Amino acid sequence: MEPVVLLDAAGRRRSPATLPGHHRCRPPRNKGVRYPADPPTIEEIVLVMRSAGQTPHGHRVRGLIVVLWRAGLRISEALALKESDLDDTRGAILVRHGKNDKRREVGMDQWGWDQLRPWLTYRLELPVGALFCVIDGKTCGRHLAPAAVREQLRRTATVAGVRRRFAPHQLRHAHAVEMAREGVPLNVIQRPAGPRAPRHHVGVPARHRQRRDHRHRPRPPRTHDPRQRRTALAAVKRPRAIARHRSEACAPRENHKPPAIGNEEPSRASG
């Protein structure tokens, strides 16, 4: 019996690394490694953009860099963009599914649009799909993988002579650092950048919110007496109602005279 040869969508032999279970019980190479927030400078970013060249692949790399840098998008948000999400007249980019599945709109300056325009012109010749898509092969027009973008940026930075880590998320850091150096307040920087939701009930699913509330909720004391247990449970569930009932029972009633004992008359307070 001949072995079955698995092929990918482009008709090439499929790598064993793409099969399920190949990386099982294998820790990743960067496990435990912490990368500091070391954004590249403006000169280094422009140098990498110049080293990309004037080919279609170079136009795509240059367009990705300006979207990540000048608009402050994440790599997943940039690769999920479509041609209809760009509004050149207003200089706006629509992010349909950001972090925590939030929808927002960010702006980009005119210089960024000028650098993105060569790729937009070439993109009209490719099939309809993602904005930053595959250029060659049978998968032309499909979504571009984040790993491929990181590898291409790394190779382009090496050719440009940049002696530091050049990752997509560092361009987002460079965007925030430049705004902070220009004196923009922190809340203004965070608003278009799409920060994470507060740690309170905002943006938390109902099931997680319910679990968290129950964790800090008072519990009835443990007792084997069913009557004491019912009383304690009622005090936990309805503390306000019980307190109101006790206050009404203990408060003196208006126009109420105590009952007479025997033939004695009720005592009257002297005016």
On whether the pTM is more than 0.85, the answer is no
> Which contiguous run of DSSP H or E holds residue 86?
strand 86-87
Report how far apart, in Å, the C-alpha atoms of 63 and of each of 44, 58, 152, 163 are. Answer: 16, 8, 13, 22
Dist CA 52 CA 41 (whole Å): 17
Residues β-bridged to residue 87:
92
Looking at the domain assignment, is residue 261 inside a domain?
no
Of 166, 165, 146, 161, residue with least CA distance to 51: 161
Looking at the domain assignment, is residue 99 inside a domain?
yes
The DSSP line for 100-147 is GG--EEEE--HHHHHHHHHHHHHHTTSPSSBSSB--SSTTTTSBPPHH
Tokens for 46, please give them. Answer: 């422009």
Looking at the domain assignment, is residue 263 inside a domain?
no
Looking at the domain assignment, is residue 65 inside a domain?
yes
The DSSP line for 221-252 is PP-S-HHHHHHHHHHHH-HHHHHHHHHHHHSP
Domain with 75, as residue range(s), is 34-193
> Which contiguous run of DSSP H or E holds residue 204?
none
In this prediction, residue 199 carries a pLDDT of 38
In this prediction, residue 194 carries a pLDDT of 57
Looking at the domain assignment, is residue 228 inside a domain?
no
- Count of domains in the chain? 1
CATH number at residue 139: 1.10.443.10
Which segments in the chain show pLDDT lower than 50?
195-216, 239, 242-243, 246, 249-250, 256, 258-271
Tokens for 266, please give them. Answer: 């009720």
Looking at the domain assignment, is residue 66 inside a domain?
yes
Looking at the domain assignment, is residue 3 inside a domain?
no
> Which contiguous run of DSSP H or E holds residue 83?
none
In this prediction, residue 14 carries a pLDDT of 81
> Cβ atoms within 10 A of the Cβ of 216, count?
6
Looking at the domain assignment, is residue 45 inside a domain?
yes
Query: What are the pLDDT digits (tens) for 44-95?
Result: 999 999 999 999 999 999 999 999 999 999 999 999 999 999 998 899 999 9
